[in-house]
Chains A and B, each alone.
Chain A
Amino acid sequence: RKEVEQDPGPFNVPEGATVAFNCTYSNSASQSFFWYRQDCRKEPKLLMSVYSSGNEDGRFTAQLNRASQYISLLIRDSKLSDSATYLCVVNGPSGSARQLTFGSGTQLTVLP
């Protein structure tokens, strides 16, 4: 099983749509969870941390289900500028607190 698994997409959605990304992780000892976004040939940029209770930042909502080892990201009212690759990231592998493990990313294109 891959350490962090994401649907690669691509997701092509019209402006204003709501889109959801899912991610599963294999390391049950992971304690930190994030969504990063990466534009083509650029660095990963932190979008948001994911907390057990779920959290929201404007149009973005992240959820964590530790029992299922599942993380989600919901984007409401998509903008053209949301077009990017969204990376699910957890700390780990097992026993490692400082090392981040990245998923392969889900590509999103928001269409006018």
Chain B
Amino acid sequence: EPEVTQTPSHQVTQMGQEVILRCVPISNHLYFYWYRQILGQKVEFLVSFYNNEISEKSEIFDDQFSVERPDGSNFTLKIRSTKLEDSAMYFCASSPSSGGREQYFGPGTRLTVT
């Protein structure tokens, strides 16, 4: 069964450093997403991406964040200058159609900012 993959599984970085989280969505999916989950809190939407551009973004997704689909398979989230409060689990998801239906999540990258 096709699945979303993410690398690395755990990233430790120092405050102020840039990080890039990588995702390979399911191959025939058209919509891609990033969510985050701070430990003990609920899953929160960051951004959606379709046709090589951002479709929607939340208030969390400020100028420190960017997304890119550098080739036909990868989808990346970059955090330019990490803060302590960026420590969270970051999930990539993809879906085959619009309307937010049936989004499939990757295993996540645990980001720890020290």
What residues make up the interface of A, taking CB atoms closer than 8 Å to B? 31-32, 34, 41-46, 49, 87, 91, 96-105
Contact = CB atoms under 8 A, between A and B. Distances in A.
Given A44-B91, A87-B43, A98-B48, A32 B101 contact: yes
Majority secondary structure, A binding face: loop
Interface residues of B, number: 28
Given A43-B105, A100-B103, 16 more contacts: A31-B99, A32-B99, A42-B107, A44-B43, A44-B91, A46-B102, A46-B104, A91-B99, A91-B100, A96-B56, A97-B100, A98-B31, A98-B56, A98-B95, A99-B56, A102-B44
Interface of B: 31, 33, 35, 41-45, 48, 50, 55-56, 58, 89, 91, 95, 98-108, 110
Nearest to A101: B45
A42, A99, A101 — which one has the most chain B CB atoms within 10 A of its CB? A99
